[in-house]
Amino acid sequence: MLDSFSLFNIVEQFIIGYFITINTVYLALVIGALLYVRKQMLHRSVVEADALFKTELFKSISILVPAYNEADNIVESVESLLKLEYPEYHIIVVNDGSADDTLQRIIDHFGLTETDIYFEEQIEHQHIRGIYRSPNTPMLTVVDKENGGKADALNAGINIAETDLVCSIDADSILEQDVLKKLIQTFIEHKNTIAAGGVVRVINGCQIRNREIKEIHVPKSFWGRLQSVEYIRAFLFGRVGWDYFKSLLIVSGAFGIFDRKAVIKVGGYLTDTVGEDIELIVRLHSYHLRNNEDYQIRFLPEPICWTEVPTDYKSLRNQRNRWHRGLADSLWQHKYMLFNPTYKHIGMFVMPFFLFFELLGPIVNLLSYVYLIIIISFPDLFSLTFILLFLGVSIIYGMVVSLIAVLAEEVAFKTYSSFKDVAILSLYSLLENIGYRQIHSWWQFKGLIDFFKGKKSWGKMIRKGFKE
């Protein structure tokens, strides 16, 4: 039998090994992303998107905007979408049974009238109550349907779209004007591309005039600044790093482009999950690997989508709880892929990593802090070596990874308008590891508990809308 000293020694080695492993993987993703970003930028300087589109190689695309109670943002969002630089695209706003005046605002602003449009219902969705268009804005279609959730609204938009590609975005998002040219370039250069995502950045704190971002600044709120650091690390270097290793498992629901036929082939978005974005990507991987079909799912660092993030504690807590429930549900739905060689590196490495380090990570994080409190509370079990190693690996190592991501992003893209903004983000990249990350682990842990309880609700989100 193990004595107490041996047991505690095993626990200590496990905790230290866990944190070294996860942070080393994150560091490898950052380094891989830096190499990849440099390669991509060099490639873009040689092959310009405009040159491709002049050859009429472009693909038609429909931008799908699911909207539920988005009255504060909907008009501004559509106006910004109408200014995109692309030869042929259509905007389909799907009002998902909003309880506010989202539908009426967009009808009044664009002078829409109800019209009859034939479409083939290839994916099931809730009943459509009306479709609206205007001769003054022929590229805009507004669909009014009964409430069925975001995934259901996207399925309705996919059915109505008649284009090669579909782009799903949130109604509270603003796309940079050349974003479609940059992102769709990968569909033109690589015919086997079935999905692609771009960087999502935080719009809170930016100066907006005429529905365009004129100056980029960090948010003024404490929670907003922490999320800015998260988004830089997660999107620009986490997902670029996974793309570098051809292992992308997430294309954000805030902004992603898909081959419409590929999405229809796998049955569209799943409507009984709160993580419809990751679930669809996993299902696309599963279908193509199982059928041995050539495909690519890409993430590009340049295409930019700006989104409003929650700035109050409760909304942020609800969002992260939902995200973790979505991850748990997706891994559960596709558990047959875990350690299954049929699904190659996705099943043998990527999904196990997301299971043990992303999904179950909050449990290890919280237990490690409980263990730390125990050994401090009982002098006989006190281990100064463990405490120093734990602090060094779990906190300082995490700080270094976050700081590298923030500084590397500024060197590569020079996004922010002033040195002050970069300094603030650098400071918050250190602060997020002390307090916030522990609270975040608790939110995720609660999300895991709620998943086992069968909770499917999204949770209330307070939005302030875009301010001029």
* pLDDT interval class at 354 (50, 70, 90): very high
The rounded distance, in Å, linking the Cα atoms of 106 and 57 is 33
Residue 327 amino acid letter: L
- Exposure class string for 28-43: b at 16+ Cβ within 10 A, else e: ebbebbbebbeebeee
CA distance readout (Å), 165 to 162, 169, 184, 188, 195: 9, 13, 9, 11, 9
Burial class (CB in 10 A: 0-12, 13-18, 19+), 126: middle
pLDDT reading at 55 higher than 60: no
Residue range 430-437: mean pLDDT, rounded:
88
Q: Which tens digit of pLDDT belongs to each residue from 192-250?
A: 999 999 888 999 999 887 767 888 999 999 999 999 999 988 887 678 888 888 899 99
DSSP alpha helices (H): ranges in 131-175? 150-160
pLDDT reading at 153 higher than 50: yes
pLDDT reading at 46 higher than 50: no
Residue range 433-460: mean pLDDT, rounded:
90
Q: Which tens digit of pLDDT belongs to each residue from 254-281?
A: 899 999 999 999 999 999 999 999 999 9
User: Domains of the chain (ranges plus CATH)?
Assistant: 22-352 (3.90.550.10)
With H, G, I as helix, E, B as strand and everything else as coil, classify residue 58: coil
* pLDDT interval class at 52 (50, 70, 90): low
Neighbours of 242 (CB within 10 A): 20
Q: Which tens digit of pLDDT belongs to each residue from 403-422?
A: 888 887 777 777 887 889 99
Residue range 290-307: mean pLDDT, rounded:
89
Burial class (CB in 10 A: 0-12, 13-18, 19+), 85: middle
